[in-house]
């Protein structure tokens, strides 16, 4: 057999046990926090019909990044025979979790609770050019409330997201809040097309700074529109009341309630916040962290998106955690205690000891202890190397002699100490091991 490359496709990642465990623990934590707020988990396929993925009014940028799935069998033959311009694919990988949610809601809305509080933790795929820190498969963690129009939805979603950061031990996050209606009201005498260009430029503020935004606007529009000047100025909410009081009232109330719920978190009004997705219709927010360029999460109100799939106008608000960035930040900080590594290692000193050692391992597992027993009666040196490599804290040495004497040698691998413990009474032995493993 010829040798084949052992690498994953470009832009995709393999996760080693440490990473895979830590990622799993983080998604578990996110699920727990979202559930604690009453959000319900739903599940959807990773691929959707292309007609679904092309359905959204906005999001055109993401549509270009769809990984398409080739048609099969007769359908593929027909498409190939049809020649240039024929669609060769029938499905595509989802590029976000919002569009599938919109489809889900349209499909099942009659039977869903009103409002529908929902979350998803899952992978999405984008055919971006691979580069450092940007992957073609990554995890999103969305939380949405469909069918609620007041700011309670905003506060519930954003608070749940903040609690995830808190539960993960990450301090120092900031929440920036704005409203699309306020940005629209800032348009003034600019034409719609000019204003769209202006917002695209403003959206780059993070990357290019104020000067960069002004430069782009001068180049494209010949001047910096007044509304953009105001958005770039002091973020005093009072200055914007005359522009769109409904927005400023709602922003002020959201800030007040979130601040009460998360007193240690900086919650601010940010009139220059745009958020690229064009389906937002009201509140928008972004979570930032001083040690990170770009955002740790964000979202907004999208009261029109669901119409795409035939639902009547339905108010909806949602947010998402940037899982990959959060994971990176947490990895750079002290890693949490590992709750997945085995706690006890049992070497196999001779093949005929399998039965009693397997029985003992089962009893320990029944106490909630993770026990790893070596599968081969290999050289003891190799078995100990294995336990060392896996950093298993305790080794239970049980040879034929020990078993005959009814005792086990318990080695503490970190302290290189050893203690002999009687196997009977069995309850006492198991209690002792349980106590050891909980230390």
Q: Which of residues 342-381 bind a copy of itself (CB under 8 A)?
A: 342, 345, 348, 351, 354-355, 358-359, 362, 365, 368-377
Number of residues that bind a copy of itself (CB under 8 A): 109
Using CB under 8 A as the binding rule, whether residue 427 contacts a copy of itself is answered as no
Instruction: Candidates 255, 386, 403, 434: give the one binding a copy of itself (CB under 8 A).
Output: 386
Nearest distance from residue 214's CB to a copy of itself, in Å? 34
Is residue 142 a contact partner of residue 123, using CB atoms and an 8 Å limit?
Answer: no
The answer to whether 300 and 283 are in contact (CB under 8 A) is: yes
C-alpha span between 190 and 221 (Å, rounded): 10
| Selected binder of a copy of itself within 26, 124, 141, 145 (CB under 8 A) | 145
CA distance 382 to 387: 9
CB of 351 to a copy of itself, least distance (A): 7
Does residue 1 bind a copy of itself (CB under 8 A)?
Answer: yes
Beta carbon nearer to a copy of itself, 376 or 424: 376
CB of 245 vs a copy of itself, minimal distance in Å = 17
Q: Which residues inside 199-258 make contact with a copy of itself, applying CB under 8 A?
A: 256-257
Per-residue binding string, a copy of itself, 151-180, x by CB under 8 A, is -xx-xx--x---x-----------------
Q: Nearest approach, Cβ of 295 to a copy of itself (angstroms)?
A: 24
Q: Tell me if 44 contacts a copy of itself by CB under 8 A.
A: yes
Considering the complex, what minimum distance in angstroms separates the CB of residue 221 from a copy of itself? 29
Assess 310 for contact with a copy of itself (CB under 8 A): yes
**Gyration radius from the chain CA atoms:** 28
- Three-state secondary structure readout of 47-113: EEEHHHHCCCCCCHHHHCCCCEEECCHHHHHHHHHCCCCCCCEEEEECCCCHHHHHHHHHHHHHHCC
CB 272 within 8 A of CB 210: no
Q: What residues numbered 54-73 form the site for a copy of itself, per CB under 8 A?
A: 55, 57, 67-70, 72
Candidate residues 148, 183, 213, 287; the one interacting with a copy of itself per rule CB under 8 A: 148
289: left (phi over 0), alpha (psi -120 to 50) or beta: beta
Q: DSSP 3-state assignment of 328? A: helix
Site for a copy of itself, residues 86 to 125, rule: CB under 8 A: 88-91, 93, 103-104, 106-108, 113-115, 117-118, 123
Please tell me whether residue 4 adopts helix, strand or coil conformation: coil
- Alpha carbon distance 83, 436 (integer Å): 70
**In this structure, how many other beta carbons lie within 10 angstroms of the beta carbon of residue 266?**
13
Helices (H), 265-399: 323-332, 354-366, 380-389
Cβ count within 10 A of residue 54: 14
Q: Is residue 191 at the binding interface for a copy of itself, with CB under 8 A as the rule?
A: no
Residues 168, 294, 225, 198: is their CA dihedral positive or negative? negative
Q: Which is nearer to a copy of itself, 226 or 338 (CB)?
A: 338
Task: Give the Cα separation of 145 and 154 in Å (integer).
Answer: 9
Pairing label, strands 407-412, 417-422: antiparallel
Contact code string over 20-39 relative to a copy of itself, x by CB under 8 A = xx-xx---x--x---xxxx-
Tell me the closest approach of the beta carbon of residue 263 to a copy of itself, in angstroms: 11
Measured from the CB of residue 330, what is the shortest distance to a copy of itself in angstroms? 16
Give the x-and-dash track for 316-345 against a copy of itself (CB under 8 A): ------------------------x-x--x
User: Edge-to-edge strands of the sheet including 316-322?
Assistant: 40-41, 116-125, 137-146, 316-322, 297-301, 283-288, 174-179, 266-269
User: Cα separation of 77 and 293, whole Å?
Assistant: 47
Q: Which is nearer to a copy of itself, 92 or 297 (CB)?
A: 92
Nearer to a copy of itself, 157 or 273 (CB): 157
CB of 307 to a copy of itself, least distance (A): 6
Nearer to a copy of itself, 167 or 185 (CB): 167
Q: Which of 237, 292, 308, 436 binds a copy of itself (CB under 8 A)?
A: 308
Closer to a copy of itself by CB, 159 or 194: give it. 159
Rounded to a whole number of angstroms, the minimum distance from the CB of residue 187 to a copy of itself is: 23
């Amino acid at each position: 057999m010829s040798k084949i490359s052992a690498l994953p496709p470009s832009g995709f990642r393999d996760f080693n046990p440490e990473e895979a465990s830590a990622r799993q623990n983080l998604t578990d934590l996110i699920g727990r926090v979202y559930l604690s707020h009453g959000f319900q988990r739903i599940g959807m396929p990773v691929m959707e019909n292309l007609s679904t993925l092309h359905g959204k009014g906005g999001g055109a940028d993401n549509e270009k990044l769809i990984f398409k799935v080739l048609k099969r069998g007769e359908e593929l033959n027909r498409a190939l025979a049809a020649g240039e311009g024929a669609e060769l694919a029938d499905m595509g990988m989802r590029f976000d979790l919002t569009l599938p949610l919109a489809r889900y809601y349209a499909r099942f809305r009659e039977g869903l609770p009103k409002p529908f509080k929902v979350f998803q933790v899952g992978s999405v795929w984008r055919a971006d050019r691979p580069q450092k820190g940007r992957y073609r498969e990554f995890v999103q963690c969305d939380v949405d409330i469909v069918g609620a129009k007041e700011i309670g939805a905003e506060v519930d979603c954003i608070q749940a997201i903040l609690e995830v950061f808190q539960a993960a031990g990450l301090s120092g996050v900031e929440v920036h809040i704005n409203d699309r209606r306020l940005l629209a009201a800032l348009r003034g005498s600019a034409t719609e097309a000019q204003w769209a260009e202006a917002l695209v430029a403003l959206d780059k503020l993070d990357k290019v700074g104020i000067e960069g935004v002004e430069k782009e606007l001068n180049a494209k529009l010949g001047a910096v529109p007044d509304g953009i000047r105001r958005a770039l100025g002091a973020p005093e909410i009072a200055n914007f009341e005359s522009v769109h009081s409904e927005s400023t009232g709602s922003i002020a109330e959201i800030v007040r309630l979130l601040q009460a719920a998360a007193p240690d978190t900086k919650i601010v009004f940010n009139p220059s916040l745009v958020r690229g997705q064009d389906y937002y219709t009201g509140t928008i927010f972004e979570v930032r962290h001083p040690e990170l360029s770009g955002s740790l999460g964000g979202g907004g109100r999208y009261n029109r998106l669901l119409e795409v799939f035939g639902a009547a106008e339905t108010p909806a608000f949602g947010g998402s955690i940037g899982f990959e960035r959060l994971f990176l930040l947490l990895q750079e900080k002290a890693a949490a205690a590992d709750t997945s590594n085995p706690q006890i290692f049992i070497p196999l000193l001779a093949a005929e000891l399998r039965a009693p050692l397997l029985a003992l391992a089962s009893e320990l597992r029944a106490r909630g202890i993770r026990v790893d027993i070596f599968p081969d009666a290999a050289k003891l040196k190799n078995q100990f190397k294995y336990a060392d490599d896996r950093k298993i804290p305790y080794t239970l040495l049980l040879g034929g002699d020990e078993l005959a004497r009814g005792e086990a040698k318990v080695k503490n691998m970190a302290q290189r100490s050893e203690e002999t413990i009687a196997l009977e009474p069995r309850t006492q032995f198991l209690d002792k091991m349980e106590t050891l493993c909980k230390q």
